[in-house]
Amino acid sequence: MATNQSQHISQQFEKELQDIRSRVLAMGGLVEQQVTQAMEALVTGDAELARQVIGNDDNVNKMDVLIDEECIQIIALRQPAASDLRLVTGILKTITDIERMGDEAVRIARMALNLSDKDRPKKNYRELHSLGVHVRKMLHDALDAFARFDVDSALAVAHEDADVDSEYESILRQLMTYMMEDPRMISRVVDMMWSARSLERIGDHARNVAEHIIYLVEGKDVRHLSVEKIEQVVKGE
């Protein structure tokens, strides 16, 4: 009888953990949509879409709070063993980064609103669009790695961060040139710079999620390490 009860509790616990993982992916999917729509609003000048992104931030925050509460409840009531505790704490860290990516999407949407009533540049924010595509892929791949607890995919996401940083720095140099050539563009360029900064930050948070995945799977804290060091840790070198 005791064995059956123990098995039932174990199955229920597994169901709770799986439910939380599903909620994390749903939250991540919403944030990915937020980033996509914020970039579309920026590039097309769609003020209504930008407002929609800003309005949806409440939904992201509610999901963050709900998952956080579920994790705390599991820790308090289930007293999980080390590996399960690592999963729960890793999820708590992951949703923090996902929520912050949502905040950055809102910042981009606010910049899109600022820019929507200004003249469109000839290149139509092509530089920002390219960076946005890159960063959105990082986010998507990080969520995919989380869904599968795939360390190799997580490492690939971490590698992408350096390319995003390089692309961001190139955009800043280009925008500075625009301002020097035509001071009338300063206001618009400042908004573009803040948008680029938010995209770069989303890339940073996607890398953080990748690092959390490595912690979840391998039990090794690889925060603040270079990608090369992370690979060595994962491979046990």
Tell me 183's DSSP state: G
Q: Are 128 and 43 in contact (CB under 8 A)?
A: yes
**Distance (Å, rounded) from C-alpha 140 to C-alpha 107?**
19
Chain-centre distance for alpha carbon 134 = 13
Closest by CA to 89, choosing from 161, 17, 11, is: 17
Exposed/middle/buried for 80, CB within 10 Å: 0-12, 13-18, 19+? middle
Determine the Cα–Cα distance for residues 228 and 46; give it in Å rounded to an integer: 41
User: Rounded to whole angstroms, what are the CA distances from 125 to 44, 45, 142, 196, 209?
Assistant: 9, 10, 26, 11, 28
Least confident of 111-115, 126-130, 200-204: 126-130
Q: How many whole angstroms separate alpha carbon 139 and alpha carbon 158?
A: 11
28: tokens are: 């991540």
- The average pLDDT across 154-158 equals 95
The CA R_g of the chain, rounded to the nearest whole Å, is 20
Residue reference for tokens 């270079």: 226
Residue 50 contacts residue 113 (beta carbons within 8 Å): yes
- What distance in Å separates the CA atoms of residue 167 and residue 218, rounded to the nearest whole number? 31
**What is the predicted pLDDT for the residue at 155?**
94
Q: What is the pLDDT of residue 127?
A: 83
Q: Which residue has the tokens 């035509």?
A: 182
Which range, of 49-53, 91-95, 214-218, averages the lowest pLDDT? 214-218
Q: Which domain holds residue 95?
A: 2-235
Residue type for position 8? H
Per the prediction, the chain carries an average pLDDT of 90
CATH number at residue 40: 1.20.58.220
Tell me the average pLDDT across 11-26.
Answer: 90
How many domains does the chain fold into? 1
Please, which residues have CB within 8 angstroms of residue 96's CB and are 6 or more apart in sequence?
64
Residue 2 has pLDDT above 50, yes or no: no
Distance of CA 200 to CAs 37, 121, 149, 159, 184, Å? 17, 22, 24, 14, 26
pTM of the model: 0.91
Residue 9: per-residue pLDDT: 52
pLDDT at 31 over 80: yes
The pLDDT score that the predictor gives to residue 7 is: 55
Residue 8: predicted pLDDT = 46
Residue 122 — very low, low, confident or very high, per pLDDT cuts 50/70/90? low
